[in-house]
Structure 1
Amino acid sequence: MLKLTSPATVAVLAALTALGPLATDMYLPAMPEMAEALNTGPDQVQLTLSLYMAGFALAQLLCGPVSDRFGRRPIMIGGFILFLAASLLCAFAPSIEWLLTGRFLQAFGGAAGPVLARAAVRDIYAPTEAGRVLSYMASTMAMAPALAPVVGAGLLMFFGWQSIFMLLSLYAVVMLLILALLMPEPLPAERRQSVAPGVILANFRMLLTQRSFVGYTLINASGFAGLFAFLSGSSFVLIEYMGLSPLQYGIGFTLIVAGFFSGTLFSGRYSHRLGRDRLLLLATLLCALSGSSMATLALVGAHQPWAVIGPHIVFLFGFGIVMPQSMAGALAPNPQCAGSASSLFGFLQMTIAALGGALVGQFHDGTSRTMAMAIALGGLVALGAYLLLIHRAPERINRTRSAADRQP
């Protein structure tokens, strides 16, 4: 068994968290070909992404509270078993309806990895240290979205789109073996809570009355909505409209993820020096400015790959800071129900992102305008949430946060 505080355990938790970007980003270059192969339109293929996020969001409401009662490890094992079965269903789907079903079930099982990995970090570390660990976890897992589109494009060229889901099945098998044989249980018995619906609902109600929890969650969800708008529309914009090949798209996507990777490294390095909230001010400003720049370029007719990829690199740098710091801020005051807090945080994040992605698919006009305007809106809302809910938070919230930062 691994030690809970070892770098190897952090690497395993990062690999669990990486399941989300792997399952969303790897098949992005294949979306136009999947639409042709399954005899359907771009809106239906884009729906596989939004439906995945919707299933992911719903599953988080269940797996987090259940893990507060039974522990993180058994719920993660059950989730990966379902993810494995659903990935095989996607690989052999004969129609878009079967693919949609497989993607929903894939999300329902895969949610256990990211949501419980976040909760496990809060189980093991105090909040200030948790922010640093989450930043370095995000740096490690950034390799997943950096490599996923390139790997997906390669598999698409040589083996067809079905091979992408076969590789996801193999990933699930590897993670199941690690969880079963090496991963210790991070949640102590004395912190376990009742799984009664009344207790779960009381925890959710308590969290939604915390101004800081709502603020940090909205910052993260808005930034993630901007990222998801790009995921939902970028393959159709960059490949179909702007003429990039799937391989060129994968390379451009890797450059964008490099921005995210750099942001997470910056977050980890300056977490103690600048503090959570100053980092979030810088990050939300970058997201708002870069998103607005992309929208402006699209509206004035600059329909070139650089006008999308360049601003989104900066947006992802900002989101690389936002993601770990907002997670740590939302979970900090709630060690007694970290699973429920992580679940509600993830549910709101995924729900808002799924709605944004669905709107991009619904109003896609063949150009980059709809996608760019959605990304700009995500950045502006993130900045507004910081200024209204965190920067102007009452002093009593700041005192509560400081006290929580001293708790293990």
Structure 2
Amino acid sequence: MLTLTSVWTTVLLAAAVALGPLATDMYLPALPQIGRDFGTGTDQVQLTLSLYMVGFAIAQLICGPLADRFGRKPIMIGGFVLFAIASIGCALATNIETLILCRFLQALGGSAGPVLGRAAVRDIYTPREAARILAILASIMALAPAIAPTIGGLLTASLGWSSIFLALSGYALVMAVVVAIGIPEPMRPEHRQSLKIRSLLKNYSTIARDISFLGYTLTNALIFSGLFAFLSGSSFVLIDFLGVPTEHFGLYFACMVAGYVVGNLSAIRLGSKLLPDQILVRGLLIAVAGGGLMAGLALSEVYNVWAVILPQALFMIGTGMVLPQTMSGAMANFPTMAGSASALFGFIQMAVAAIAGMLVGHLHDGTSLVMATIIAACAACAMGCYLLLVQRYPAKGFEAQTATSS
């Protein structure tokens, strides 16, 4: 068994965290084919993605407290097994309703990897060391959505979309075995907590009433919703509307991921020169510019691949700058309730994103207009949350520009 501070332990935790984006992004190229096979509309197919996010959101509120009581490993292993079984159900689904249900169950299990992988890092390392390890995990996480759609497109083109879910099931089972025999339990026995409902509800109530937390969380959730709107609509826009071959979808998708990586690296580079709030507002301005450009081109009926990809890459540069700052800001006021704050933060993020995904599916008109408009609206609303909440109620250590200049 590996030691907790081993490099290979970090690699295995990164592989566990990667399960979330793999489950979301690998089957994106297959969405149009799934709709054709089941003879259903875009809105129904989109529910397989949006309800996955709903399940993921709900599971975070449950997964964290269970892991605080019983340890990280048993909950993580149980989640992987549930994910694997649900993935097989997805592969065997004969109608869209069964696929939607199995995707929801898949999300309940899939949340264990990302949520508890990050929690394990906090268990193992000091705060300063944890920041470095989490940065490594974030870099690996950026690779997963870059690779996943390409793999999914190739599998769909050669073996059919069911093969994607069989591959995900195999991945989850391998991870369950590796975690069971390869990683010691990272949580100390004396840190185990009670599962008393009253205490959990009190913590969540305290966090939810903090205006600073709500400001950062809603800003994050809205920017993430713009990203999720692209995930929900991109395969229909690029493959069905603009004629991109399924096996090439991942190559265009990688341009979006490259934008996110550029934003991440820019935030790291600027971190020594600017306050987190200053990085945040710059990222928001870039995201608003990207979303507005895409919507403007769509309104002008400029319909081609690069009129979608390049503005989205610009939006993702802003997203890469915004998400780390808003996550840190939301957690800043709750050093003793970080687990509960993280769970509520994730729940709100995923719930808002699911709504954006449902809107894309319900309103889709066969062009890029609906997707582009929703992305632009999410960016504009995120800027509004920043101006109305974050600037007025900054978290400690995240002083807003208006505060620093006064």
What is the TM-score of this pair, normalised by structure 1? 0.91
Distance in 2 of aligned mates of 1:182 and 1:131: 23
Q: 1:140 to 1:33 in 2, by over 3 A?
A: same
Give the secondary-structure state (helix, strand or coil) at the position aligned to 1:58: helix
Contact 1:27/1:152 (CA < 8 Å) preserved in 2? yes
Aligned to 1:210: 210
Distance in 2 of aligned mates of 1:303 and 1:368: 8
Distance in 2 of aligned mates of 1:224 and 1:362: 19
CA RMSD of aligned residues (A): 2.1
Distance in 2 of aligned mates of 1:256 and 1:228: 12
**Does 1:30 find its partner at 2:30?**
yes
Aligned to 1:398: 396
Aligned to 1:20: 20
Aligned to 1:371: 371
Please report how far the alpha carbon of residue 47 of structure 1 lies from its aligned counterpart in structure 2 after TM superposition: 1.0
Aligned to 1:257: 257
Distance in 1 of aligned mates of 2:189 and 2:398: 25
CA deviations over 1:175-215 (Å, ceiling 9, x no partner): 11221122233333343322111111111111112233222
Aligned to 2:402: none
Q: 1:273 to 1:140 in 2, by over 3 A?
A: farther
Contact 2:153/2:250 (CA < 8 Å) preserved in 1? yes
- Aligned residue pairs, count: 399
Larger CA deviation: 204-213 vs 316-325: 316-325
Contact 1:131/1:325 (CA < 8 Å) preserved in 2? no
Distance in 1 of aligned mates of 2:350 and 2:366: 25
Distance in 2 of aligned mates of 1:9 and 1:215: 35
Aligned to 1:52: 52
Matched residue type, 1:224: F
Aligned to 1:69: 69
Output aligned runs, 1:230-241, within 5 Å. Answer: 230-241=230-241
Please report how far the alpha carbon of residue 132 of structure 1 lies from its aligned counterpart in structure 2 after TM superposition: 4.8
Q: What percent identity do the matched residue pairs reach?
A: 54
Give the secondary-structure state (helix, strand or coil) at the position aligned to 2:336: helix
Q: 1:275 to 1:77 in 2, by over 3 A?
A: farther
Distance in 2 of aligned mates of 1:381 and 1:151: 34
Give the secondary-structure state (helix, strand or coil) at the position aligned to 1:301: coil
Distance in 1 of aligned mates of 2:364 and 2:236: 9
Matched residue type, 2:255: L
Contact 2:275/2:398 (CA < 8 Å) preserved in 1? no
Gaps of 5+ in 2: 400-406
CA deviations over 1:347-381 (Å, ceiling 9, x no partner): 10110000010011111111111101111122122
Aligned to 1:342: 342
Q: 1:53 to 1:270 in 2, by over 3 A?
A: same
Larger CA deviation: 95-104 vs 347-356: 95-104
Contact 1:333/1:400 (CA < 8 Å) preserved in 2? no
Distance in 2 of aligned mates of 1:70 and 1:100: 30
Distance in 2 of aligned mates of 1:309 and 1:3: 43
Aligned to 1:353: 353
Distance in 2 of aligned mates of 1:268 and 1:88: 40
Give the secondary-structure state (helix, strand or coil) at the position aligned to 2:218: helix
**Does 1:297 find its partner at 2:274?**
no
Output aligned runs, 1:106-125, within 5 Å. Answer: 106-125=106-125
Larger CA deviation: 380-389 vs 5-14: 5-14
Larger CA deviation: 207-216 vs 76-85: 207-216
Distance in 2 of aligned mates of 1:131 and 1:275: 17
Distance in 1 of aligned mates of 2:385 and 2:117: 26
Distance in 1 of aligned mates of 2:218 and 2:5: 30
**Does 1:287 find its partner at 2:287?**
yes
CA deviations over 1:138-184 (Å, ceiling 9, x no partner): 21111111011110111011111110001101110221122112223
Larger CA deviation: 69-78 vs 321-330: 321-330
CA deviations over 1:311-357 (Å, ceiling 9, x no partner): 11111122223233322332344343333222111110110000010
